[in-house]
Amino acid sequence: MKKIGFLSFGHWSASPYSQVRSGSDALIQSIELAEAVEDLGADGAYFRVHHFAQQLASPFPLLAAIGARTKRIEIGTAVIDMRYENPLYMIEDAGAADLIAGGRLQLGISRGSPEQVIDGFRYFGYVPPEGGTDADMARQHTEAFLEALSGVGFAEPSPSPMFPNPPGLLRPEPHSPGLRDRIWWGAGSRATAEWTGQQGMNLMSSTLLTEDAGVPFHELQAEQIRLFREAWAAAGHQREPRVSVSRSIFALVDDRDRAFFGRGNQEADQVGYIDAQTKAIFGRSYAAEPDVLVKELARDTAIQAADTLLLTVPNQLGVEYNAHAVESILKYVAPELGWR
């Protein structure tokens, strides 16, 4: 395990128990938490993207702001739903945010998960191809995004431009060199992990998989990682691929931790449905004293196989508590598992 970051879903709620009461709170506190974990020595700040919900949505203004306020940490998404994205506009946004951050963006993209409304991508103006599905559309958007992200010009320049053009075909600007190597696909199955490897994207695996093979979640996820790396090697990609996994992990080191999570150690995986058609296996969560966590996490084969661990944080508990929760893992648990 080389890197540890946090993953926030960016919820806000008017509930009296929430310290994040508005969209403004969610955005500002996300920036503040990224600054705090950088000071603590963590490696990354990642954010989920959901539409039509009281959660973080359009990610690039937030990523650019964090890029301007931090200097070292990776800044990413987990994940952007490609059903909703205009690939070329996304390249412009991503290129600008990455340049502001000095080349630190790590963009997780995917087909997305069930959303708050029915076929929400249609309200954004996107319709699946005839005879195709929304998943097909997400992959088409992704293919167009990756192709244009290469930086090769493809647009015919106007013979009467407002400003002089460089020679040749044009591309979306600003172009950020190296960003193509920092695109991750959120794979929910073994088959999609193999496709990810073939496409030359890094692998981002979450706390659920949309299949149940009758084995513990971490073993299924470890197999997914193995298949990804085999597909990557078979495709002949030259660079070393990266793999991240997400976990809910809380070290119980003070009374606040025990009050919030002292009874929250979910010792077994769960199998359920994320929608009417999709069966999924959900990985367990961890909440225990640091010495117990070290032993439990050492047996998690997927964590051992990945190079990056994303700690899901309860963002509505506020910046100070979440910084404390991350610091507890960095200080008492991660060094015993080989971090740094």
Which band of pLDDT confidence, cut at 50, 70 and 90, is reported for residue 284? confident
Q: What is the pLDDT of residues 156-191, one digit of tens each?
A: 999 999 999 999 999 999 999 999 999 999 998 999
pLDDT of residue 327: 98
Listed in sequence order, the DSSP H helices in 101-214 are 120-123, 134-149, 190-199
- Give just the sign of the alpha carbon dihedral 173, 175, 180, 183: negative
Which band of pLDDT confidence, cut at 50, 70 and 90, is reported for residue 112? confident
Q: What is the percentage of the chain residues whose pLDDT exceeds 70?
A: 94
pLDDT at 271 over 60: no
pLDDT of residue 264: 56
Torsion angles phi and psi, residue 102, rounded to 5 = 70, 35
Residue type, 301: T
pLDDT of residue 283: 72
Measured between alpha carbons, how far is residue 93 from residues 2, 119, 134, 316 in Å? 29, 24, 23, 28
Q: What is the pLDDT of residues 17-43, one digit of tens each?
A: 999 999 999 999 999 999 999 999 999
Q: What is the pLDDT of residues 197-224, one digit of tens each?
A: 999 999 999 777 777 777 888 999 999 9
Listed in sequence order, the DSSP H helices in the chain are 23-40, 60-69, 87-100, 120-123, 134-149, 190-199, 217-235, 255-261, 290-298, 301-305, 319-328
Distance between CA atoms of 185 and 224, rounded to whole angstroms? 13
- With tokens 């700040």, the residue in question is 45
Which band of pLDDT confidence, cut at 50, 70 and 90, is reported for residue 292? very high
**Token duo for residue 91:** 């390249």
pLDDT of residue 314: 96
Q: How many CB atoms lie within 10 A of CB 333?
A: 24
pLDDT of residue 123: 97
pLDDT at 239 over 70: yes
CA-wise closest residue to 314 among 48, 90, 44? 48
Mean pLDDT of 238-247: 96
pLDDT of residue 32: 98
Which band of pLDDT confidence, cut at 50, 70 and 90, is reported for residue 280? low
